[in-house]
Amino acid sequence: MSHRGRGLLAATITVAALAALAACSPGATNDSGEANDTVTLVTHDSWSVPDEVIAAFEEESGYRLEVVPSGDAGALTNKLVLTKGNPLGDAVYGIDNTFATRAVDEGVLAEHVPADLPASAEQYRLEGAAGDQLTPVDWGDVCVNADDRWFAAHDLAPPRTLDDLLDPAYEGLLVTPGASSSSPGFAFLLATIGKYGVDGWQDYWTRLLDNGAKIVSDWSEAYEVDFTAGGGGGDRPLVVSYHSSPPFTIPEGERRPTTSALLETCFRQVEYAGVLEGAANPEGAKALVDFMVGETFQEALPENMYVVPVDDTVDLPPLWEKWARPAPHPITVPAEEIAEHRSEWIRAWSDVTAR
């Protein structure tokens, strides 16, 4: 090819490239003009709220709601920390009590407490400044679930406590998602820390693994592959899941679930909402947080996100009243302590479980 040819070729390609780039920029318009009538909510991937509820908010407040799912609670919190000052949205929902203090300490949130916070929500409020920034919206218990049908068929009484899980009778029966890669997995680790203390849990886990506990990377795998009642033909009748999981195992045409949650093994996760510091539309964000503790939103929580509303005057679905009862005395670890030791605990857990 002559040099002219090369030049022409290069030029043609450049033009083509520019044209292609231009062609695929469907209106790179700036939407800052509509910032004041839109409120943007940054949330986790499990966000799921019916259209009617969103419409109710939009009608009530006059704002249009835009939702930005941003990974699990951990990824969500860390994204907010990294984009501090120029946030991804106006309000956040889905920071839980295991990440709350990090978000508060990093100065990600602005102060706002809804005027009519339900009385029953007070007990979930964080202490100090954090309590004025994060509004509790809902909670749920992470508990070991047992496949009752399996235990009945094997003539074995299901375990009840964390201690029971070390009993040789239950050897090789438990599967749990890992604490380093899964939020219920971390909650289960916290249950053991709350129960056995900051110096005792390592020994518990060593013995748990000696008793054949299996660790997998996430909840859906534990439940859908290894759990006997999960549909994957697994061989482990004990799984770390939620207190709200049993109603999902009611067989077609029957009235009782085939599984139950072991209520003495539970750690309570509380989810919060808040207004982001530097929000383009702080008023809209406040209206949204207020709406989330209001009746319409609270009522939609159990059926759609499988969590319990903080407002205890809201009726739970009938199946929940019966089959998804929460732990009367969940195991707790103070939020500040979690924030301070989180990395250390996960690292130590990884060392204990690497074998």
Partner 1 sequence: MSPGGQKRYVALAAAAAAVPLAVLAVFFVVPVVGMLRLGFFPDGELDLGGVVETLARPRVGRVVWFTVWSASLATAVTVMLGVPVAYALHRLSFPGRRILRGLVAVPFVLPTVVVGVAFRTLLADAGPLGFLGLDGSAAGIVAALVFFNVSVVVRTVGPWWEAMDPRREEAAAALGATPLQVLRTVTLPALRPVVLSAASVVFLFCATAFGVVLTMGGLRYATVETEIYLLTTQFLDLRAAAALSVLQIVVVVVLLVVTGRTRPSPVERVTVDTVARRPRGTDLPALIVLGLALLLVVAPLGTLVVRSLRVDGGWSTEYYRALGDADASPALAVPVGTALENSLRIAVDATLVALTLGLVVAVLVTRRTRRPGPRRLLSLFDGIFMLPLGVSAVTVGFGLLVTLDRPPLDLRGSPWLVPVAQAMVALPLVVRTIVPVLRSIDERRREAAATLGAGPLRVLATVDLPVAWRPALAATGFAFAVSLGEFGATSFLARPDAPTLPVLVYQLVSRPGADNFGMALAASVVLGLVTAVVMLAVERLHLRGVGAF
Asked whether position 54 contacts partner 1 by CB under 8 A, the answer is no
* Closer CB to partner 1, 26 or 168, in the complex: 26
Closest distance between partner 1 and the C-beta of residue 116, in Å?
26
Residue-by-residue DSSP string for 58-88:
HHHH-PEEEEEE-SSHHHHHHHHHHTTTS-S
Q: Which of 14, 36, 123, 332 binds partner 1 (CB under 8 A)?
A: 14
Q: What share of the chain is helix, strand, coil (3-state, %, to 5)?
A: 45, 20, 35
The residues in 74-93 that bind partner 1, with binding defined as CB under 8 A, are: 74-75, 78-79, 81-83, 86, 88
We find the least distance from the C-beta atom of residue 326 to partner 1, in angstroms, to be: 16
Instruction: Considering only residues 98 through 137, tell me which ones interact with partner 1, judged by CB under 8 A.
Output: 102
- Residue of the chain from 39, 49, 143, 173 that contacts partner 1 (CB under 8 A): 49
Angle among Cα 55, 60, 62 to the nearest 5 degrees reads 85
Residue 36 phi, psi dihedral angles, 5° rounding: -85, -15
Decide whether 121 or 185 has the Cβ nearer to partner 1.
185
Binding residues for partner 1 restricted to 177-216, rule: CB under 8 A: 178, 180-181, 214-216
Contact pick of 72, 96, 141, 290 for partner 1 (by CB under 8 A): 72
Rounded CA-CA distance 103/108 in Å is 6
Count of residues engaged in binding partner 1, rule: CB under 8 A: 84
- The answer to the question of residue 342 lying near partner 1 (CB under 8 A) is yes
Asked if 302 is part of the footprint of partner 1 (rule: CB under 8 A), the reply reads: no
Q: Does 152 bind partner 1 (CB under 8 A)?
A: no
- Of 210, 227, 171, 163, which is closest to residue 191 (Cα–Cα)? 163
Angle between helices 183-196 and 201-210 (to 10 degrees): 120
Please list every residue from 311 through 340 that binds partner 1, using CB under 8 A: none
Long-range contacts of 282-287 (CB under 8 A, 24+ apart): 282/90, 282/110, 284/36, 284/38, 284/39, 284/61, 284/63, 284/90, 284/91, 285/39, 285/90, 285/91, 285/112, 286/112, 287/39, 287/57, 287/61, 287/63
In angstroms, give the least distance from the CB of 354 to partner 1.
Answer: 6
71 forms part of the interface with partner 1 (CB under 8 A): yes
Nearest CB to partner 1, comparing residues 78 and 120 = 78
Minimum CB separation of residue 4 from partner 1 in Å reads 6
Closest by CA position to 354, among listed 229, 245, 206, 207: 206
Q: Counting contacts by CB under 8 A, is residue 267 touching partner 1?
A: no
